[in-house]
Copies of this chain bind each other. A is one copy, B any other.
Amino acid sequence: MPDNPLQNIILLLSCPDRAGLVFRISNFIYERGGNILDLDEHVDPVEKIFFVRVLWNEKLSTLLSELEDAFRPLGEEFCASWKIRLTGLTTRIAIFVSRYDHCLLEILWRNSIGEFAVDIALIISNHNDLAPLAAQYGIPYHVFPLSGDTKEAVEQQEVALLERNAIDTVVLARYMQILSSRFVERYQGRIINIHHSFLPAFVGSSPYRQAYERGVKIIGATSHYVTEELDQGPIIAQDIIRVTHKDSLDDLVRKGRDLERLVLAKAIRLHAEHRILVNGKKTVVFD
């Protein structure tokens, strides 16, 4: 129907549970002439909180702001936290890296073949090492060398750069620096990290060394939203791989690399497709 193109719309909403929520939301969509393509809901049985993700399509004639205005009364009635997204508008992300290339390559390649609904606006690093890789994929690469006394100043420059580029989400692709509370606060729920262990095991630095010394038979990787407390943010995705006494520390690092890049990629995809709702210290993931 060339004269009646459709647009896909996503609603993410959480609110105190009560009767009639699905009915009221589906009614809202039905009255607009929309057709629900996908609906996932969950009720936290302990906290009595309702979570829903609805994907529907309707005629391409509405601005996002009009949609938001239309839904606002319902949101207020439900005392809900909610957001509406048009699926055509991709999430603008910035990637922070240090020296390891595997996570960055994974993200750039997946994006290049169309796996992600993201727009990689820029890469920030404290090292030059990965500039050639960024260049291969045509992504601007900004180096901010770090030294103790200028850390705060550097971060301010970084934030300014992110602001100028209208960055929505920051991805830490094995970025080896700790962000300030101020930075974390500003991008709350929008900073995705990959930690190279099966959290909460092996918090902090050198998790592969910790795992090697503990003699575990399985290692893991964890992608999570960054909060002020180190490695304590809501977990988005985890995966594991088996190891044996034959595996050296280098083998753990090698095997772990494969986990890290797959788990981080999964988290980015879920985030970009608006499939994640934060529930306190945890996540609801509608995969």
Identify which of residues 186-202 in chain A touch chain B, using a CB-to-CB cut-off of 8 Å. 198-202
Instruction: Please state if B45 and A248 are interface contacts (CB–CB under 8 Å).
Output: yes
Contacts of A240 in B (CB 8 A): 218, 240
Closest CB of chain B to A20's CB: distance in Å? 5
A238 CB contact (under 8 Å) in B43, B218, B239: B218
In the bound complex, how far is the Cα of B246 from the Cα of A44, in angstroms?
Answer: 8
In the bound complex, how far is the Cα of B114 from the Cα of A102, in angstroms?
Answer: 13
Closest CB of chain B to A206's CB: distance in Å? 14
Interface residues on A, range: 35 or more
In the bound complex, how far is the Cα of B284 from the Cα of A281, in angstroms?
Answer: 31
* CB closest chain-B residue, reference A34: B19
Instruction: Please state if A109 and B105 are interface contacts (CB–CB under 8 Å).
Output: yes
Instruction: Please state if A216 and B199 are interface contacts (CB–CB under 8 Å).
Output: yes
Closest CB of chain B to A163's CB: distance in Å? 31
A176 at the interface (CB under 8 A from B): no
* CB closest chain-B residue, reference A211: B200
Instruction: Please state if B245 and A282 are interface contacts (CB–CB under 8 Å).
Output: yes
A200 CB contact (under 8 Å) in B19, B44, B214: B214
A130-167 CB mask vs B (1 if < 8 Å, else 0) is: 00000010000000000000000000000000000000
Contacts of A287 in B (CB 8 A): 246
In the bound complex, how far is the Cα of B96 from the Cα of A217, in angstroms?
Answer: 25
Given contacts A101-B113, A200-B214, A245-B279, contact A26 B22 (CB under 8 A): yes
In the bound complex, how far is the Cα of B40 from the Cα of A245, in angstroms?
Answer: 12
* CB closest chain-B residue, reference A276: B245
Contacts of A258 in B (CB 8 A): 262
* CB closest chain-B residue, reference A224: B215
A254 at the interface (CB under 8 A from B): yes
Could you list 23 examples of A-B contacts with CB < 8 Å? Answer: A18-B35, A22-B26, A22-B39, A23-B23, A37-B43, A39-B41, A40-B40, A42-B246, A45-B248, A101-B109, A101-B113, A102-B109, A105-B109, A198-B198, A199-B214, A199-B216, A201-B201, A214-B281, A215-B279, A217-B285, A240-B240, A245-B283, A258-B262
Extra 4 A-B pairs, beta carbons < 8 Å, given A45-B248, A105-B109, A244-B285: A42-B245, A115-B254, A245-B284, A258-B262
